[in-house]
Amino acid sequence: MTRRQLRPTDVKRLNRTWRRSTENRLAMIVESVTGPFNIGSIFRSAAAFGVEQIWLAGNATPPTNPKAQKTALGTDRLVPWKDAVPVLEAVEQARADGYTILAVELTGDARPLHQADLARDVCLVVGSEDHGCSPALLDAADGACYIPQVGRVGSFNVGVAAAIALAEARRQEWANLPES
Protein backbone atom coordinates (compact mmCIF):
# COMPACT_ATOMS: atom_id res chain seq x y z
CA MET A 1 0.00 0.00 0.00
CA THR A 2 1.31 3.42 -0.96
CA ARG A 3 0.46 6.13 1.51
CA ARG A 4 -0.09 9.63 0.17
CA GLN A 5 -1.41 12.86 1.51
CA LEU A 6 -5.02 13.64 0.76
CA ARG A 7 -5.83 16.18 -1.92
CA PRO A 8 -7.81 19.27 -0.82
CA THR A 9 -11.07 17.82 -2.18
CA ASP A 10 -10.50 14.61 -0.22
CA VAL A 11 -9.77 16.60 2.96
CA LYS A 12 -13.03 18.52 2.54
CA ARG A 13 -14.92 15.24 2.11
CA LEU A 14 -13.26 13.74 5.19
CA ASN A 15 -14.02 16.82 7.31
CA ARG A 16 -17.64 16.82 6.09
CA THR A 17 -18.01 13.25 7.36
CA TRP A 18 -16.83 14.23 10.84
CA ARG A 19 -18.97 17.38 10.82
CA ARG A 20 -22.07 15.25 10.13
CA SER A 21 -21.17 13.10 13.15
CA THR A 22 -20.97 16.12 15.45
CA GLU A 23 -23.94 17.39 17.43
CA ASN A 24 -22.52 18.85 20.62
CA ARG A 25 -21.88 22.55 20.70
CA LEU A 26 -18.50 23.92 21.77
CA ALA A 27 -17.73 27.46 22.85
CA MET A 28 -14.85 29.20 24.58
CA ILE A 29 -14.20 32.04 26.97
CA VAL A 30 -10.68 33.41 26.56
CA GLU A 31 -9.84 35.46 29.63
CA SER A 32 -7.01 38.00 29.50
CA VAL A 33 -4.88 36.10 26.98
CA THR A 34 -2.76 38.94 25.64
CA GLY A 35 -0.23 37.21 23.40
CA PRO A 36 -1.36 37.74 19.81
CA PHE A 37 0.21 34.47 18.64
CA ASN A 38 -1.69 32.61 21.38
CA ILE A 39 -4.94 34.30 20.30
CA GLY A 40 -4.30 33.37 16.67
CA SER A 41 -3.54 29.79 17.65
CA ILE A 42 -6.69 29.53 19.77
CA PHE A 43 -8.84 30.81 16.90
CA ARG A 44 -7.26 28.40 14.46
CA SER A 45 -7.90 25.44 16.76
CA ALA A 46 -11.42 26.70 17.49
CA ALA A 47 -12.19 26.80 13.77
CA ALA A 48 -10.78 23.30 13.28
CA PHE A 49 -12.95 21.83 16.05
CA GLY A 50 -16.15 23.69 15.19
CA VAL A 51 -16.35 26.14 18.08
CA GLU A 52 -19.57 28.12 17.69
CA GLN A 53 -18.66 31.17 19.78
CA ILE A 54 -15.67 32.73 21.51
CA TRP A 55 -16.17 35.32 24.20
CA LEU A 56 -13.09 37.43 24.86
CA ALA A 57 -12.92 38.60 28.46
CA GLY A 58 -10.77 40.88 30.54
CA ASN A 59 -7.93 42.39 28.54
CA ALA A 60 -7.77 39.64 25.89
CA THR A 61 -6.17 40.68 22.61
CA PRO A 62 -8.66 40.64 19.72
CA PRO A 63 -7.97 38.39 16.72
CA THR A 64 -7.87 41.48 14.51
CA ASN A 65 -4.40 42.24 15.89
CA PRO A 66 -1.98 41.96 12.93
CA LYS A 67 0.29 39.53 14.80
CA ALA A 68 -2.72 37.36 15.74
CA GLN A 69 -3.70 37.32 12.07
CA LYS A 70 -0.37 35.71 11.16
CA THR A 71 -1.17 32.68 13.30
CA ALA A 72 -4.95 32.59 12.81
CA LEU A 73 -4.61 32.58 9.00
CA GLY A 74 -8.08 34.09 8.56
CA THR A 75 -9.86 31.63 10.85
CA ASP A 76 -11.20 34.49 13.00
CA ARG A 77 -13.75 34.92 10.17
CA LEU A 78 -14.95 31.35 10.73
CA VAL A 79 -15.61 31.56 14.48
CA PRO A 80 -18.04 34.18 15.80
CA TRP A 81 -16.46 36.19 18.58
CA LYS A 82 -17.36 39.08 20.82
CA ASP A 83 -15.24 42.02 21.92
CA ALA A 84 -13.78 41.69 25.40
CA VAL A 85 -16.25 42.05 28.25
CA PRO A 86 -15.88 41.54 32.00
CA VAL A 87 -15.40 37.82 32.62
CA LEU A 88 -18.59 37.34 34.65
CA GLU A 89 -20.59 38.88 31.81
CA ALA A 90 -19.04 36.35 29.41
CA VAL A 91 -19.92 33.51 31.78
CA GLU A 92 -23.52 34.77 32.06
CA GLN A 93 -23.85 34.97 28.27
CA ALA A 94 -22.43 31.48 27.75
CA ARG A 95 -24.67 30.00 30.44
CA ALA A 96 -27.72 31.78 28.95
CA ASP A 97 -26.83 30.14 25.62
CA GLY A 98 -27.08 26.73 27.31
CA TYR A 99 -23.42 25.90 27.86
CA THR A 100 -21.85 24.21 30.86
CA ILE A 101 -18.82 26.32 31.83
CA LEU A 102 -15.62 24.34 32.48
CA ALA A 103 -12.33 26.05 33.25
CA VAL A 104 -9.16 24.41 31.96
CA GLU A 105 -7.12 25.15 35.04
CA LEU A 106 -5.05 23.53 37.77
CA THR A 107 -7.31 23.73 40.85
CA GLY A 108 -7.65 21.50 43.90
CA ASP A 109 -10.95 20.05 42.66
CA ALA A 110 -10.15 19.89 38.93
CA ARG A 111 -10.76 16.57 37.19
CA PRO A 112 -8.29 15.12 34.70
CA LEU A 113 -9.39 16.24 31.24
CA HIS A 114 -10.09 12.70 30.04
CA GLN A 115 -12.42 12.13 33.02
CA ALA A 116 -14.33 15.40 32.68
CA ASP A 117 -17.75 15.17 31.04
CA LEU A 118 -17.06 17.06 27.82
CA ALA A 119 -19.48 15.15 25.56
CA ARG A 120 -22.20 17.79 25.86
CA ASP A 121 -22.68 21.48 25.09
CA VAL A 122 -19.65 22.89 26.86
CA CYS A 123 -17.87 26.22 27.03
CA LEU A 124 -14.19 25.72 27.79
CA VAL A 125 -12.41 28.55 29.56
CA VAL A 126 -8.72 29.35 29.31
CA GLY A 127 -6.98 32.12 31.20
CA SER A 128 -4.01 34.41 30.90
CA GLU A 129 -0.54 33.20 30.09
CA ASP A 130 0.86 34.24 33.47
CA HIS A 131 -1.92 33.74 36.01
CA GLY A 132 -4.47 31.42 34.40
CA CYS A 133 -8.16 31.92 35.12
CA SER A 134 -9.13 34.61 37.61
CA PRO A 135 -10.60 33.67 41.00
CA ALA A 136 -13.92 35.27 39.97
CA LEU A 137 -14.08 33.10 36.87
CA LEU A 138 -13.18 29.94 38.79
CA ASP A 139 -15.96 30.70 41.32
CA ALA A 140 -18.48 31.23 38.50
CA ALA A 141 -17.53 28.14 36.47
CA ASP A 142 -19.49 24.89 36.77
CA GLY A 143 -16.26 22.95 37.19
CA ALA A 144 -12.60 22.69 36.30
CA CYS A 145 -10.44 20.18 34.48
CA TYR A 146 -6.72 19.89 33.91
CA ILE A 147 -4.43 18.24 31.38
CA PRO A 148 -2.38 15.49 33.06
CA GLN A 149 1.34 15.75 32.40
CA VAL A 150 4.19 13.42 33.22
CA GLY A 151 7.14 15.57 32.23
CA ARG A 152 9.02 18.11 34.28
CA VAL A 153 6.98 21.08 33.09
CA GLY A 154 4.05 22.34 35.15
CA SER A 155 1.77 23.62 32.41
CA PHE A 156 1.18 24.01 28.69
CA ASN A 157 1.18 27.14 26.59
CA VAL A 158 -2.41 28.47 26.63
CA GLY A 159 -2.84 27.97 22.87
CA VAL A 160 -1.70 24.35 23.14
CA ALA A 161 -3.89 23.74 26.20
CA ALA A 162 -6.92 25.10 24.33
CA ALA A 163 -6.25 22.80 21.37
CA ILE A 164 -5.84 19.75 23.61
CA ALA A 165 -9.07 20.51 25.49
CA LEU A 166 -11.04 21.07 22.27
CA ALA A 167 -9.67 17.86 20.77
CA GLU A 168 -10.64 15.90 23.89
CA ALA A 169 -14.17 17.32 23.84
CA ARG A 170 -14.65 16.12 20.27
CA ARG A 171 -12.90 12.80 20.98
CA GLN A 172 -15.33 12.10 23.80
CA GLU A 173 -18.28 12.86 21.54
CA TRP A 174 -16.98 10.70 18.70
CA ALA A 175 -15.81 7.81 20.92
CA ASN A 176 -19.23 6.12 20.83
CA LEU A 177 -19.79 6.43 17.10
CA PRO A 178 -20.00 3.17 15.16
CA GLU A 179 -16.75 2.36 13.39
CA SER A 180 -16.78 3.03 9.68
| Average pLDDT estimate for 157-176 | 95
- Tens digit of pLDDT for each residue in 112-144? 999 999 999 999 999 999 999 999 999 999 999
CA distances from 46 to 21, 108, 128 (A): 17, 27, 17
User: Per-residue confidence at 155, pLDDT binned at 50, 70, 90?
Assistant: confident
Tell me whether residue 2 is in a domain: no
Decide if 13 is inside a domain.
Answer: no
Q: What is the pLDDT of residue 180?
A: 61
8 within some domain: no
Q: Between 153 and 138, whose confidence is greater?
A: 138
89 within a domain of the structure (yes/no): yes
pLDDT at 15 over 90: no
What distance in Å separates the CA atoms of residue 166 and residue 180, rounded to the nearest whole number? 23
How many independent structural domains does the chain possess? 1
> What DSSP line would sit under 131-147, residue for residue?
TBS-HHHHHHSSEEEE-
For position 16, what pLDDT does the model report? 84
The answer to whether residue 79 sits within a structural domain is yes
Residue 34 included in any domain? yes
Residue 135 belongs to a domain: yes
| CATH number of the structural domain spanning residue 47 | 3.40.1280.10
Whether the per-residue pLDDT at 150 is higher than 80: the answer is yes
In 3D space, the residue among 119, 123, 62 whose CA is nearest the CA of residue 93 turns out to be: 123
| Per-residue pLDDT tens digits for 20-79 | 888 899 999 999 999 999 999 999 999 999 999 999 999 999 999 999 999 999 898 999
Q: Which residue has the higher pLDDT, 104 or 154?
A: 104
Least confident span in 4-13, 45-54, 117-126, 160-169: 4-13
Mean pLDDT of 152-164: 93
Instruction: Answer whether residue 84 is part of any domain.
Output: yes
Domain housing 66? 23-174
